[in-house]
Amino acid sequence: MDNILADSSSARYSFIFSFNPENVKGSISIIGAPSDCARISEAFMTCDNFDNINGSRLSDGLPDFAGEIIASIIDVANTPYSDYIDSSNTDFLRELTVKEVLAALDTTTSISQFNHNGITTKLGAKVIILASKEMIKFGLFDVDTLFKAAGGKIPVIASTDSAKVVAEECFKLFRKNNLFTHDIAYPKATGFITVPSSSLSMDALNADGSFKDHYKYSRAADSDYDTFTIVEFSPRYMPDETFSSLEMIAPQTYKSYVQD
């Protein structure tokens, strides 16, 4: 984080500095472990707890987040987070939280794990939601510090409450700050997945391309070398068990992913 603050001309800093708090076209960005992202994304896709016109607590037959893009950064590569705690390496957990938050603000992402020059556009976030308790415990302070240093304009929701409570908190935030798109459409889920960098040596990777545990949990913070990247959603970047659980935990989110 100190490296980002020290260089105000860097691309990463510019994402924060140029944030427009009135940009209603941004996405709702959910960041965390696959199961946490799935539960919260599904709540945003399906909840109908409020009247969309006057904000009263009354179902009106229209999803509360109608017209919104629910964009999850599904951290397949770096989880489970608990092992960073067990390995006494929470510094890297703090750093990866900051990096993934900055990636959510970015308006570009990689097309695939192996195409280093292939870039595609995406919506930058208009609100950040930290979905996993370990990110909240160890990374939230750094995210808040970074955002405050750059003007404090970026809303962050970090709650260990239920997915329903998180969605309600976001609804109230959007009502207060007039952040709804007001588009007449069902909400849409889009996904992005963390993957190990394809330039790593085979000593760092398992046969399926995932990190070996001894490498994953010993990575040092403040390195100039990025060990993972974020790509557009594709089932090939998810273990079969994780992909199957997505369909079970979050059927509407899953449907939106595979339809794209």
pLDDT in tens, 15-66: 777 788 888 999 999 999 999 999 999 999 999 999 999 999 999 999 999 9
> What is the full DSSP assignment across 10-30?
SHHHHHHHT--TT-TTSEEEE
Helix residue ranges, H only, 123-162: 133-149
Q: Which pLDDT score is estimated for 54?
A: 92
What tokens does 155 get? 């809303």
Task: State yes or no: pLDDT of 115 exceeds 80.
Answer: no
Count the neighbouring beta carbons within 10 Å of the beta carbon of residue 239: 13
Portion of the chain with pLDDT greater than 90, in percent: 76
Strand pairing class (156-158; 125-130): parallel
User: What mean pLDDT is predicted for residues 176-183?
Assistant: 93
- Residue 184: pLDDT band (50, 70, 90) is confident
Q: Which pLDDT score is estimated for 151?
A: 74
The dihedrals phi and psi of 258, each to the nearest 5 degrees, come to -75, -25
User: What mean pLDDT is predicted for residues 161-168?
Assistant: 96
Q: Which pLDDT score is estimated for 12?
A: 62
pTM of the entire structure? 0.94
- Residue 116: pLDDT band (50, 70, 90) is low
Q: Which pLDDT score is estimated for 260?
A: 65
Distance between CA 37 and CA 29 in Å, rounded? Answer: 10
What mean pLDDT is reported for the chain? 91
